[in-house]
Structure 1
């Protein structure tokens, strides 16, 4: 039996963790025989004035059309967009008597919304047939808020089955890479401070768009850190495979499970990241190094450790290969389709989905 699923959310461009994750899920679903997908792209509306308003109205109309045509409506969204688009999605579901699945991106508790936005956001979540959250911490928080139909649904990525270490290629670490939005809270200053203390044969390549007033000038006096521009999404796997370790010393407030960490796992490289929000749920001492946020000295020590200790570095690479299978896209696509079938069959009367 084929189930018809509406995917409502932002697709690239712009490039970001949310849009990339939804794009992966869409492609995975389109490759299945048991699913028909109808996509409503909600991206590119903000900051466009009257044109943005017209575009928003068109998106709402497409949402209603999709709700009429499918068996299950699924909304894939970040926290702050939820009160804006969520009520219209819920209205479409109620008009056409279709179940609603909400998949929340990011690591922010919905109770961080304020005032009217909080009331609207919580109302939408409470009326969804299933609420999927990205981290275990968010699942626990949702349970504390007396939300009943909540499940953990982590970020996932297509994972290779090839044992990347079989040829002994990853013997040492000299080439670090940072691949994310470039903003102060992503730890870019700490990277520069730490990297410039390392030996001359160590390099750090930085990819990503610049935000929060930062310009390429921050790299002007760097000897080991090089800005490489914005990476095309299709080039990300190749970029990561050409490096030895990922740097992500983030303390960004909206951090959930950073997709680039899973991309690094797929490339077979370990990560140096931070004890920040839910990141320790996916990175531990077997596949990476966790340091305190905002601590350039600890970051330097971690980078030095995997540069100088080849056996330790190789053990992290082996740990990555063991860890990555859990976050394989196909596994979590199967789970997503299972959830859609479940709520399509039972609707809002189904209280416990496992």
Structure 2
């Protein structure tokens, strides 16, 4: 019976999107009776390499949940073990570029890595579109199933967040960089306010070191009344803060966008998402149900959606209800239960859960 698992990949702290996802995966799997030892690739590289080399000798079940560099570096090492009988592996590729990375490799290298990743019992990307792309690259012996991002549900009920406000409250939480579409967001916000819309915009996040975009963004933001930049928001405050907002802004055009944890946090908070139809966003946001989609860089469309929410409280309320319903699909409880089902279906002999699972997991 599989009880002890070695997992490799980033695990928060420090706070990163993949690191948070892995932290919640570990918590959920341990609730199901697995003893998960996690080698945290966010730590110093020499220590991490020594941990991986020493610990792979003594385990028969492995999870690799990482992005490109770690995935390509560690998978060949694990493949040697995974070819042995009664040894199991699960691959959770972080980000949205896994299939594109494989297709871009020269033929012999692509064949090598496809054979390497095929030694895992299952490959579990975060979106349905990624799953379809990967099924075309692997043979039928590899189970490819979607496992979305996940977050704990908030303990504070939506009814505790206060009454409705005449002012539409918009929020963005995430990295502050040009490819996140923040110039488009500020332009759409300005256009909506110029049209007389009663709206405020709160932006939370951090800049990359020495990014020249920082000065330009701060200058632009300071010129717009009601647009407020607050700096980085502690992770434990993200969902409570979004519960006090009416809608979440996600105008990204970032090439590496996969299944952003920020969208899961917005849904958990009951915040509908106004997002670009970019990469996998349409797999996550259902237009007219839990948010609105618009074409990248379409400032007029985003501004129109903002005005629509401000002018139609009934629509806003319906979208907020839809967001809360969607958020339940990405709870730690539900997603990790799906992981257990996938592992069991791929041949892992798993123990029964050791504790009664709760609705929430304490955030960091």
Any residues of structure 2 matched to 1:92-103 within 5 Å, and which? 92-94=81-83, 98-103=87-92
Is the aligned partner of 1:299 residue 2:291?
Answer: no
Is the aligned partner of 1:131 residue 2:123?
Answer: yes
Is the aligned partner of 1:218 residue 2:251?
Answer: no
Determine helix, strand or coil for the equivalent of 1:137: helix
Deviates more, 1:60-69 or 1:115-124: 115-124
Q: Residues 181 and 253 of structure 2 are in contact (CA less than 8 Å); yes or no, is this contact kept in structure 1?
A: yes
Determine helix, strand or coil for the equivalent of 2:56: helix
Paired with 2:182 and 2:3, the residues of 1 have a C-alpha distance of 45
**Aligned match of 1:288 in 271, 287, 291?**
291
Is the aligned partner of 1:89 residue 2:92?
Answer: no
Kindly tell me: are residues 44 and 2 of structure 1, through their superposed partners in 2, closer, same or farther at Cα, counting changes over 3 Å? closer
Please name the residue that 1:60 is paired with: 49
Please name the residue that 2:12 is paired with: 12
The structure, 1 or 2, with the larger RCO (C-alpha pairs under 8 Å, 6+ apart) is 2
Deviates more, 1:219-228 or 1:296-305: 219-228
Kindly tell me: are residues 345 and 18 of structure 1, through their superposed partners in 2, closer, same or farther at Cα, counting changes over 3 Å? closer
Q: Residues 82 and 119 of structure 2 are in contact (CA less than 8 Å); yes or no, is this contact kept in structure 1?
A: no
Alignment TM-score, normalising by the size of structure 1: 0.85
Paired with 1:264 and 1:173, the residues of 2 have a C-alpha distance of 19
Any residues of structure 2 matched to 1:169-180 within 5 Å, and which? 169-170=163-164, 174-180=168-174
Paired with 1:216 and 1:237, the residues of 2 have a C-alpha distance of 28
Paired with 1:168 and 1:227, the residues of 2 have a C-alpha distance of 23
Kindly tell me: are residues 289 and 298 of structure 1, through their superposed partners in 2, closer, same or farther at Cα, counting changes over 3 Å? same
Kindly tell me: are residues 141 and 132 of structure 1, through their superposed partners in 2, closer, same or farther at Cα, counting changes over 3 Å? same
Q: Residues 205 and 227 of structure 1 are in contact (CA less than 8 Å); yes or no, is this contact kept in structure 2?
A: yes
Any residues of structure 2 matched to 1:295-334 within 5 Å, and which? 295-334=298-337
Q: Post-superposition shift, 1:203?
A: 1.7
Q: Post-superposition shift, 1:69?
A: 4.0
RMSD (Å), alpha carbons = 2.7
Please name the residue that 1:235 is paired with: 237
Q: Residues 63 and 89 of structure 1 are in contact (CA less than 8 Å); yes or no, is this contact kept in structure 2?
A: no
Structure 2: unaligned runs, 5 residues or longer: 351-364
Paired with 2:349 and 2:28, the residues of 1 have a C-alpha distance of 25
Paired with 2:85 and 2:19, the residues of 1 have a C-alpha distance of 27
Alignment TM-score, normalising by the size of structure 2: 0.83
Please name the residue that 1:351 is paired with: none
Deviates more, 1:115-124 or 1:193-202: 115-124
Please name the residue that 1:350 is paired with: none
Q: Post-superposition shift, 1:9?
A: 0.6
Please name the residue that 2:37 is paired with: 38
Determine helix, strand or coil for the equivalent of 1:76: strand
Q: Residues 135 and 153 of structure 1 are in contact (CA less than 8 Å); yes or no, is this contact kept in structure 2?
A: yes
Task: Deviation per CA, 1:176-201: give whole Å up to 9, x if none.
Answer: 11111111221111011111233385
Q: Residues 167 and 200 of structure 2 are in contact (CA less than 8 Å); yes or no, is this contact kept in structure 1?
A: no
Determine helix, strand or coil for the equivalent of 2:35: strand
Is the aligned partner of 1:206 residue 2:203?
Answer: yes
Deviates more, 1:91-100 or 1:35-44: 91-100
Q: Residues 122 and 343 of structure 2 are in contact (CA less than 8 Å); yes or no, is this contact kept in structure 1?
A: no
